[in-house]
Amino acid sequence: MTDVIIAGIGQTPVGEHWETSLRNLARQAIEQALDDARGLKPTALFAANVLAPNLSRQAHVGTLLTDFAGLNGIEAATFEAGGASGGTALRQAYLAVKSGLVDVALVVGVEKFTDGIGSDVETATATLGDADYESIHGLTPTVQAALLAQRYHYEYDLPLDGLAGFALVAHAHGASNPNAMYRKAISLEAYQKAETVCDPLNLFDLAPYADGAAALVLTRRELLPRNFDRPLTRIAASASASDTFALHDRSDPLEFRAVRLSVEEALRKASLEREQIDLFEYFDAFSIYAALSLEAAGFARRGEGWKLAATGQIGIKGRIPCATMGGLKARGNPLGATGLYQAVEAVLQLRGEAGANQVAEARIAMIQSLAGPATLAVTHVLERL
């Protein structure tokens, strides 16, 4: 079997980088990853981005970044898959390296929300839905998540503050992540008093869109330089699955089918059981997505995903640690880069370099990126060797 190793990682702090351009933000993460990879030279670049054509007036991001990072001449490609863009780019780079057609792949995700303001940002994010049947009628990603939360409350008699645990865990973990957008724990009382954004979701149920860039260097184990001294982390499995694009076309909107299918396939490829997963970086763009993902991934029964957060089972010292560096909620959601932040954070855990957020004896991590309400799910299993 060919081991695909994550040889280098890099990330910028997530936040509002008003004075830093899209290309400079990406270059910072790229330089960190290449330095971390101990001199490996990329032969291909896989870029993930969603909104640069809308907000930064910049398409063709992959080739732009090879030029600006001083990597002229190598292969370059750009991937857009909504919130799953980072996971998709990582999967494509993994497949290229594993096949032997690419020796060293550089994967970078970047997003620059502050290149747009006000209604421009709302208009851009609305493109993530079905243009003919959802967006044109004013259905935004937040409204879509709120409708799912309303249905969840109705089906399972969820307490009014039943989703609070996800925000509390995320902010508790984000408090000690130097790259997180929000580095402050919150109380249950603060959650309960938070402004309602879209009933029943309040301010703490939504992950903030933000600027950021994250990068990884992948190669085959036999190509690692002799001076490579990092703990080895391999991609044990990669899987992707899709569902209906429009939520209204699903017979059961509370079943994240793509999550279930991608998790089952990833576990099968890695020859693992769920009980062997030491941490799970779910895609908590909205707290309801975290609950539904835990259920679809098989970590909780239907209607009980929220209980894992409410009872502390997803904390760093819990049964299945989640959002260990703050997740999307506290770290922030730089859309096209988010899946790669998840990968970088999982590698830090598996290397034992997560500082105060370290999950004890973490050996196997599962990371998952979603586009929309699990319209697309990309799941990776990472393993410390």
For residue range 260-307, what is the model confidence (pLDDT) as tens digits?
999 999 999 999 999 999 999 999 999 999 999 999 999 999 999 999
Find the Cα–Cα–Cα–Cα dihedral 128, 129, 135, 137, rounded to 10°: -160
Given a cut of 80, is residue 108 above it in pLDDT? yes
Q: What is the pLDDT of residues 160-178, one digit of tens each?
A: 999 999 999 999 999 999 9
Given a cut of 90, is residue 123 above it in pLDDT? no
Does the residue 228 lie in any domain? no
Q: How far is CA 87 from the centre of its chain?
A: 7
Which pLDDT band, with edges at 50, 70 and 90, does 122 fall under?
confident
Does the residue 187 lie in any domain? yes
pLDDT at residue 216, rounded to an integer: 98
| 49 and 125 both lie in a single domain | no
Average pLDDT over every residue of 185-196: 97
Given a cut of 80, is residue 1 above it in pLDDT? no
Whole-angstrom distance, CA of residue 59 vs CA of residue 80? 11
Average pLDDT over every residue of 207-216: 98
| 171 and 157 both lie in a single domain | yes
Bridge pairing between strands 75-79 and 44-48? parallel
Question: What's the length of the chain?
Answer: 385
Whole-angstrom distance, CA of residue 4 vs CA of residue 51? 29
Whole-angstrom distance, CA of residue 15 vs CA of residue 9? 19
Which of 223, 252, 271 represents a domain boundary (last residue)? 223
Q: What is the pLDDT of residues 51-93, one digit of tens each?
A: 999 999 999 999 999 999 999 999 999 999 999 999 999 999 9
Q: How far is CA 65 from the centre of its chain?
A: 21
Q: What is the pLDDT of residues 333-372, one digit of tens each?
A: 999 999 999 999 999 999 999 999 999 999 999 999 999 9
| 59 and 106 both lie in a single domain | yes
The share of the chain scoring above pLDDT 70, in percent, equals: 100
- Closest to 5 in 3D by CA, of 110, 92, 108, 104: 104
| 112 and 167 both lie in a single domain | no
| 163 and 92 both lie in a single domain | no
Q: Poorest-confidence range of 116-125, 182-191, 200-209, 229-238?
A: 116-125
42: preceding bond cis by omega (within 30 degrees): no
pLDDT at residue 73, rounded to an integer: 95
Does the residue 130 lie in any domain? yes
Q: How far is CA 161 from the centre of its chain?
A: 25
The pLDDT mean for the chain works out to 96
**What's the predicted TM-score (pTM) here?**
0.97
Which of 223, 255, 277 represents a domain boundary (last residue)? 223
Does the residue 230 lie in any domain? no
Alpha-carbon Rg for the chain, nearest whole angstrom, is: 19
More confident residue, 186 or 124: 186
Does the residue 65 lie in any domain? yes
Q: Which helix (H) or strand (E) holds 40?
A: none
For the chain, what percentages of helix, strand and coil (3-state, to nearest 5) are there?
Answer: 40, 20, 40
- Closest to 362 in 3D by CA, of 277, 236, 238: 277
Asked whether the beta carbons of 372 and 249 are under 8 A apart, the reply is no
Given a cut of 90, is residue 202 above it in pLDDT? yes
Which pLDDT band, with edges at 50, 70 and 90, does 138 fall under?
confident
| 309 and 361 both lie in a single domain | yes
| 343 and 364 both lie in a single domain | yes
Does the residue 373 lie in any domain? yes
CATH number of the domain within which 54 lies = 3.40.47.10
Q: How many domains does the chain fold into?
A: 2
Whole-angstrom distance, CA of residue 67 vs CA of residue 38? 21
| 185 and 325 both lie in a single domain | yes
Which pLDDT band, with edges at 50, 70 and 90, does 117 fall under?
confident
Residue by residue, DSSP assigns 58-118 as: ---HHHHHHHHTT-TTSEEEEE-BTBTHHHHHHHHHHHHHHHTS-SEEEEEEEE-GGGS-T
Residue by residue, DSSP assigns 174-235 as: HTT-TT-S------HHHHHHSPEEETTEEGGGBPPB-BEEEEEEEEEGGGS-TT--SPPEEE
Which of 223, 246, 272 represents a domain boundary (last residue)? 223
pLDDT at residue 16, rounded to an integer: 97
pLDDT at residue 223, rounded to an integer: 96
Does the residue 229 lie in any domain? no
| 103 and 132 both lie in a single domain | no
pLDDT at residue 120, rounded to an integer: 86
| 378 and 272 both lie in a single domain | yes
| 309 and 168 both lie in a single domain | yes
| 62 and 153 both lie in a single domain | no
Does the residue 256 lie in any domain? yes
- Closest to 36 in 3D by CA, of 344, 296, 319: 344
- Closest to 80 in 3D by CA, of 116, 102, 109, 106: 109
The share of the chain scoring above pLDDT 90, in percent, equals: 92
- Full residue range of the structural domain in which residue 346 is found: 121-208+235-384
pLDDT at residue 126, rounded to an integer: 86
